[in-house]
Each structure stands twice: as structure tokens, then as C-alpha cells.
Amino acid sequence: MNLKIRKKIDRGYTSIVEEEKEIELIQLGILRLERKESFYRPRSDGRETALVILGGNCDIFSGAKHFSNIGKRKSVFEGPATLLYLPADNEYKITANSSLEVAITTAPSTKQGEPVLVKPESIKIEKRGKDGFRREIHHVMIDNIDAERLIIGETFVKSGNWASYPPHKHDQDNPPEEAKLEEIYFFKVYPEQGFGIQRVYSADKSLNEVYVVENNDAVMIPRGYHPLVAAPGYILYYFWVMAGEKRVMMVKEDPQHLWMEAKV
């Protein structure tokens, strides 16, 4: 099983995950525009959409709504994201005011309503872990948006540190211990020539994959534990999106590593 995706990302829209057998709900693509270029997407036909500005500034039009001059960072390494959430059946048009990169992710939904803008200053930032597994987590779209399925965040991992650690999973519907959520990671590295290592494994090791992840790589996580580490000298960033039949975050940690709880 190959869960890693590497695609050349050009100007315009590049589909990263769409109709993959491993991922049932989430679709993810990357949009790149130059100043004054536009991208239009018609009504989403039963899918909710999140537009996360990875870098640049733009105007977004959705029906009668106009969100002007949004996006403050030049890259993901320069502060929190800006996000526009569009409930099901909303069209939109993005016009770039600068070089622009946007993560566009969707999931099935019947929830309708008006678009909701999340500004960088309202995003909750959490420092988690200690020793060699410190990371910074940005809660981009979790409790702040009443979405139907999508859950979105960004994680920044410093040189030589681990994240998603102790290893956890969320592939069974077994509340309150665990909720079933599929997930996709999309990576950036600073400086760009760096890399990280991603592992995805199940308890019985019927799934046991290890990948070198580089700038603009993606990894699908349909099931299993999924820890990762940044190579020394580099900052590893990953955009993460989860979706399930129930929009609730409940994760189960690998029992073999529960002793690490005392260090979190």
C-alpha cells in the first residue's frame, strides 16, 4: 500500500487527493495564482469547502458576499492561517492580489448557510509535548466553526522533533475512547531542501509504512497510528484535514507507548 502522494504543483488548481480508494470523504487540492489571476468554482453540489490561505493575499467572492484583502502571511512559516469556510452548495471566486497559494479541501455535507471567515488573530495556538517531541499546533477549524465533517489544523515541528507523538490513531467508532476519522497531511519544509519521516502502522502491523516526506508531499491516513519526525536543521510543517461521519475528535494512543504520557 502506498499512502504517499507527490505531484508537481503548477499554477492553477492541482488535485492532490480525489476519489482515492484509501480516502472516502476528503478531497484536497492546491491552488496557485499570480497577481490578478482568478479561479472560479461553481456550486459545490453537496460538499462543504474550506479555503485555507497558505501564503499570499486575495479577494474571495461567494454569492453576495465579498471578502476583501484576506491573507496576511507570505508563507506558512510566517504566522497563522486565514480560512474561509463555505457550507454546502456555495459557489466562490478567488482573485489574487499577490502570488497566492491556497489549500482547498472539501467533504460531503448537507449543511447550508453563509460563508464564515476565520482571521489569523482568532486562531488558537497550542504548544504541546516536551523533550524531543515539542510542536506547535494551530487550531484552524475545530471548535470555532460549526461544520458538518471537516476538521482542520496546522502543525509546526522544529528541527529533530517528533509530532503526532505519542503515536495515536482514530480509525474506529468506539466513543468515548475513539472516533473514526480519515486524515490527510500536506507538508512544507523550511528550508525547502529538507525532509521528514512519516510512519503509518496498525497494531497488528498489517499496515506498516514508512515514508520520506519532502516539500509539497502529502500522506493519506485512512487508519493506523501516524507519528512523524523532522530532520535535524529543518522545520517541518503539515496542514492536516480530518473528516468522519461524526465531527468529533477522539483519539487512542498506542498502548505500547502509554508510559510517555507522564512526559506530555
Are 162 and 130 contacting, i.e. CB atoms less than 8 angstroms apart? no
Query: Which domains are delineated in the chain?
Result: 4-263 (2.60.120.10)
- Res 261: pLDDT: 67
How much is the pTM?
Answer: 0.96
Taking the C-alpha atoms of residue 83 and residue 123, their distance in angstroms, rounded to an integer, is: 10
Cα dihedral value 45, 47, 52, 58, nearest 10? 20
Distances (CA, A) of 110 to 38, 52, 147, 193, 245: 27, 21, 10, 42, 12
Q: For residue 128, what are the β-bridge partners?
A: 135
Are 142 and 133 contacting, i.e. CB atoms less than 8 angstroms apart? no
The three three-digit cell numbers of residue 237, written as one number: 510543517
- Res 125: pLDDT: 97
- Res 263: pLDDT: 53
- Res 262: pLDDT: 60
Per residue in 161-183, pLDDT tens? Answer: 999 999 999 999 999 889 999 99
- Res 33: pLDDT: 98
- Res 82: pLDDT: 98
> Any residues with CB less than 8 A from the CB of 95 and at least 6 apart, and which?
36, 37, 38, 58, 59, 60, 61
Q: For residue 139, what are the β-bridge partners?
A: 124
Divide the 264 residues of the chain into consecutive groups of 10 and give the mean pLDDT of each group: 95 94 96 98 90 98 95 97 96 98 97 95 94 95 96 98 95 93 98 98 97 98 98 98 95 87 58
The three three-digit cell numbers of residue 62, written as one number: 461567494
